[in-house]
A and B are shown apart, each in its own frame.
Chain A
Amino acid sequence: MDNAQLRDEVFAALQGIAPEVEPDTLRGDRPLRDEVDLDSMDWLRFLAALHHRLGVNIPEADYQQLTTLDALLAYLDQHLAE
């Protein structure tokens, strides 16, 4: 999966939870949960959607590495390659 495809999957998962999100307006270096106004239930559903779409199961212990969209994309890219 290349970077563009990965971005598309992540945005599709995000829009399932926050339909009003426009991918172009998201700043990749800002805290994602502030950019999209995700509460803890939304965040968990987002992770479940990523697990379903990509097969990557992000454990709770890794949440703190994943504050920004850029960090999340890098994390997913790395785990998909494994």
Chain B
Amino acid sequence: MIEFKMPSLGADMDEGTLVEWQVAPGDAVRRGQVVAVVDTAKAAVEIECWQEGRVFELLIQPGAKVPVGTPIATLLEAGESPETAPRRPVTAAAPQPATPKAAAAAPAAAPAASGPSSRPRISPAARRRAAELGLDPATLSGTGPQGSVTLADVEAAAAAKPAAQPATAPERHAAMRQAIAAAMSRSKREIPHYYLSETVPLGAALAWLSAHNAELPPEQRLLPGVLLLKAVALALHEYPQLNGFWQDGAFQPGPGIHLGVAVALRQGGLIAPALHDVAAKPLPQLMAELGDLVQRARSYSLRSSELGDATLTVTQLGDQGVDGVFGVIYPAQVALVGVGRIAERPWVEDGKLAVMATAQFSLAADHRASDGHYGARFLAEIRRLLQTPDSL
């Protein structure tokens, strides 16, 4: 039996509200499949399941708000059958609906007692309709023969279901401010930051980009930001102590190079969803994924793996015209890279004054996990990579 729990979608999340189930009892679940939508302070998030199995029971209903780590569904592993698996009580949505309690599957005293009798009697049409509506048949009261659940019962339950609406914009804005406040306060309270910066010449990178984009329609063009992300990811490959988390008093390396990309929302606020495996992906793919990620972040429609997985965050504030940015590390990550505006500036090379496009790269890093010397070499590696854009 697999317990599927309310995932943590970042250091600033304590609890989540179930908006809807996208699976029903009996459904097979593939690794990485979206099984539910959960509303957090920051977004309505599609929750992925990373284990294979068959949905046995849904333990909470839409509208229920539960702490991170609470089991919200159970899955049967290969070889398990509904007849042998123990059942668990269902947490109803708050406020407690009056009707479903009689029909909610009772916790079994012993696995043996939870045989077929506890399976809800439900017509196939009603089961299909319940699945469409995201209702768990086990929570429905039946008015048919022997208390079986009919199509009419499903429709009635759907009509009576307290609507689990995603938060309104002002509510979400206020909640997001609180979430940012909590995460950033924790960061400055717990993380001994050190800061470095380096001016990186970008003439070669921008010339490569212009040539690449010249013949392409806007849909296929690359932004400079994508080259910078790729360079950061490749540099992290060489400097892995900056890629990961400080947890339980020690550095834990990240499971991959997943860059959190800080996205400013049009209504105010900020979210930094993860772009996965950046070092391994070609630039056009990264560009497409970044565009998709930014768009979904702005429409509050992200996936759980995007909110929880980032191993280092990159913030590019150059579009707003600032020369540089020294960021606050997102806990429990151990570093943040900031990039300022790309602009032509005076530049000395080979003893001559020239005009060169440059950008200031900064590193804010956790001094518990790394030292300035290491951080400086990491920034130098980013700079080196950006001088040979063909290699990105």
Chain A interface (Cβ < 8 Å from any Cβ of B) = 18-20, 37, 39-41, 44-45, 47-48, 50-51, 57-61
Closest to A52 in B: B219
Closest to B209 in A: A60
The contact of B217 among A37, A40, A51, by CB within 8 Å, is: A51
Find out whether the CB atom of A48 lies under 8 angstroms from the CB atom of B266. Answer: no
Find out whether the CB atom of A58 lies under 8 angstroms from the CB atom of B223. Answer: no
Chain B residues closer than 8 Å to A40, beta-carbon distance: 223-225, 319
Residue B173 CB within 8 A of the other chain: no
Greatest chain B CB density within 10 A among A20, A39, A48, A57 is at: A39
Chain B residues closer than 8 Å to A61, beta-carbon distance: 210, 214
Find out whether the CB atom of A58 lies under 8 angstroms from the CB atom of B294. Answer: no
**Can you pick out 10 interface pairs between chain A and chain B where the beta carbons lie within 8 Å of each other?**
A19-B266, A20-B266, A20-B267, A40-B319, A41-B225, A45-B295, A48-B217, A48-B218, A50-B218, A57-B217
| Shortest Cβ distance from residue B122 to the other chain A in the assembled complex, whole angstroms | 42
- A80 to B151 alpha-carbon distance, docked (Å): 57
| Shortest Cβ distance from residue B288 to the other chain A in the assembled complex, whole angstroms | 12
Residue B165 CB within 8 A of the other chain: no
Given contacts A40-B225, A41-B223, A41-B291, is CB(A18)–CB(B266) below 8 Å? yes
Find out whether the CB atom of A41 lies under 8 angstroms from the CB atom of B290. Answer: yes
Which label, helix, strand, loop or mixed, suits the secondary structure of the B interface? helix
Residue B185 CB within 8 A of the other chain: no
Q: Which of B200-214 contact A (CB under 8 A)?
A: 210, 213-214
| Shortest Cβ distance from residue B149 to the other chain A in the assembled complex, whole angstroms | 42
Chain A residues closer than 8 Å to B267, beta-carbon distance: 20
| Shortest Cβ distance from residue B114 to the other chain A in the assembled complex, whole angstroms | 50
Closest to A41 in B: B294
Chain B residues closer than 8 Å to A19, beta-carbon distance: 266
- A18 to B294 alpha-carbon distance, docked (Å): 13
Chain A residues closer than 8 Å to B218, beta-carbon distance: 44-45, 47-48, 50-51, 57-58
Closest to B213 in A: A60
Find out whether the CB atom of A44 lies under 8 angstroms from the CB atom of B217. Answer: no
The contact of B221 among A18, A37, A44, A50, by CB within 8 Å, is: A44
Chain B residues closer than 8 Å to A50, beta-carbon distance: 218
Closest to B219 in A: A48
The contact of B214 among A20, A37, A51, A59, by CB within 8 Å, is: A59
Given contacts A59-B214, A60-B214, is CB(A51)–CB(B291) below 8 Å? no
The contact of A60 among B221, B225, B264, by CB within 8 Å, is: B221
> A20-B266, A60-B210, A61-B214 given. 9 additional CB < 8 A pairs?
A19-B266, A40-B225, A40-B319, A41-B294, A47-B218, A51-B217, A57-B218, A60-B214, A60-B221
Chain B residues closer than 8 Å to A59, beta-carbon distance: 214
- A1 to B219 alpha-carbon distance, docked (Å): 24
Find out whether the CB atom of B210 lies under 8 angstroms from the CB atom of A44. Answer: no
| Shortest Cβ distance from residue A16 to the other chain B in the assembled complex, whole angstroms | 10
Chain B residues closer than 8 Å to A47, beta-carbon distance: 218
| Shortest Cβ distance from residue A4 to the other chain B in the assembled complex, whole angstroms | 25
Identify the 8 closest CB pairs spanning chains A and B, nearest first.
A47-B218, A39-B319, A48-B218, A48-B219, A60-B213, A57-B217, A40-B223, A41-B294
The contact of A51 among B219, B223, B266, B295, by CB within 8 Å, is: B219
